[in-house]
Structure 1
Amino acid sequence: MEPITGDDGLVRCPWAGGPGPMREYHDHEWGHPVHGEAAHLERLVLEGFQAGLSWSTILTKRGRFREVFADFDADTVAAFTDDDVERLMGDPGIVRNRAKIEAARRNAAATVALREDGGLETLLHSFAPPTPPAPATTEELGTTSAESVAMSKALKKRGFSFVGPTTMYALMEAIGIFDPHLVGCHARGTGS
């Protein structure tokens, strides 16, 4: 599919054509660079929680995720106890998946450890593709790349989990490592 024109007259990627939270996310966040450790950890954790689910589910629950994960402060989340995991397993405001909750705790600890080597933000952005994709249709969209595979391997070596190549490709799109918008979408080029 090519970009579509929404009811507001703006041309967008097809998944964001209708009004609502997905359109807001598409227009104002997706593909825009984020800054700081907490912002990068949040996106990495939420992409992990999204695995097997729709992004709209995660987006709807994002406010509660931010509350219960202390705005993704790595030190705080890394210090979560087994009791905290049990508390989160009982919270209907988030995705209650034990493996993903425990991965968030592990990923926070791995983020803290990365500070000695430049930090999470530096590591993630080191995998920017030399030639960013420029898809004109949804059929040309990627789901993995050599860079997302390499990022996945590097993160796993450092103790991260729920960081497979497809999830890392989605992370790269989400945090603006490259512009994921289709050519012709009004948001293409606005995130840099």
Structure 2
Amino acid sequence: MINDNIERCPWPLSGGEIMIRYHDEEWGAPAHTDAQHFEFLVLEAFQAGLSWLTVLRKRAAFREAFADFDAAAVAAFDDLRIKELLSNPGIIRNRLKIRAAVNNAGRFLEVQAEFGSFDAYLWHFTRGKPVIGGWTSLAELPARTGLSDQISADLKRRGFKFVGSTIIYAHLQAVGIVNDHLVNCFRFKELTGT
């Protein structure tokens, strides 16, 4: 367990080192590669109804099972590959979520073709600027916002699955489009330069 007396958001503390490292090194840092976006879209869909800690513990297995989160490769998964995934004990074996990941890979490629990148698509909703939460307690953090509602609706219109507003808000937080680190957290200060 990390015991460094660093002031951070309290939510990762009960998840042990894996959650603390995720918080300290990834969560809320602006991501600008489509590989990162696709990885989080896949992982967050699988997290629905489960804990993020469960997903993080299986992340390496997901990476291997889903072709290192290569959207073009995943879009080509056929019924045989889906059947193999359903028997893979290293991942969350949910048929609907697996099929959604394959479907979403195809839709992801369509968004890339239209916008040049999925990153450009997502960041255009905030004109390229992160949304700063400025929260002082976990109780203030929303589960969804007007922004996540808007993006969720647009993704659904484009044929994406498992992209409800709560899942999309988690995605926006993960990839730094929304900075929801609490203001007293060292990462808030690092990411905002305050």
Give SS of 1:12's match: coil
CA–CA separation in structure 1 for the residues paired with 2:112 and 2:28: 25
Cα deviation for residue 178 of structure 1 reads: 1.9
Cα deviation for residue 126 of structure 1 reads: 2.1
Could you tell me which residue of structure 2 aligns to residue 43 of structure 1? 40
Cα deviation for residue 16 of structure 1 reads: 2.1
Give SS of 1:58's match: helix
CA–CA separation in structure 1 for the residues paired with 2:27 and 2:85: 27
**Compared CA separation, residues 131 and 63, structure 1 to 2 (3 A):** closer
Q: Any idea what the Cα deviations from partners look like across 1:129-180, whole Å, max 9, x if unmatched?
A: 8853211001111110000000001111111110000000000000000211
Q: Does 1:124 align with 2:152?
A: no
CA–CA separation in structure 2 for the residues paired with 1:90 and 1:131: 40
Could you tell me which residue of structure 1 aligns to residue 3 of structure 2? 7
TM-score, length-scaled by structure 1: 0.92
Contact 1:179 1:189 in 2 (8 A): no
Q: Give structure 1 stretches of 5+ with no counterpart.
A: 1-5
**Compared CA separation, residues 117 and 189, structure 1 to 2 (3 A):** farther
Q: In the comparison of the two structures, how many residue pairs are matched?
A: 187
1:71-90 to 2 correspondences below 5 Å: 71-90=68-87
Contact 1:32 1:190 in 2 (8 A): no
Find runs of 4+ consecutive structure 1 residues off by over 6 angstroms.
none
Could you tell me which residue of structure 1 aligns to residue 51 of structure 2? 54
CA–CA separation in structure 1 for the residues paired with 2:73 and 2:131: 37
Amino acid aligned to 1:122: A
Give SS of 2:104's match: helix
CA–CA separation in structure 1 for the residues paired with 2:61 and 2:67: 10
Cα deviation for residue 7 of structure 1 reads: 3.0
Could you tell me which residue of structure 1 aligns to residue 88 of structure 2? 91
Cα deviation for residue 124 of structure 1 reads: 1.4
Amino acid aligned to 2:4: D
**When you count helix as a share of all residues, which structure comes out higher?**
2
Amino acid aligned to 1:87: E
TM-score, length-scaled by structure 2: 0.91
Q: Any idea what the Cα deviations from partners look like across 1:91-149, whole Å, max 9, x if unmatched?
A: 01000000000000001000111122113111112233885321100111111000000
Contact 2:130 2:179 in 1 (8 A): no
Could you tell me which residue of structure 1 aligns to residue 25 of structure 2? 28
CA–CA separation in structure 2 for the residues paired with 1:49 and 1:142: 21
CA–CA separation in structure 2 for the residues paired with 1:95 and 1:106: 17
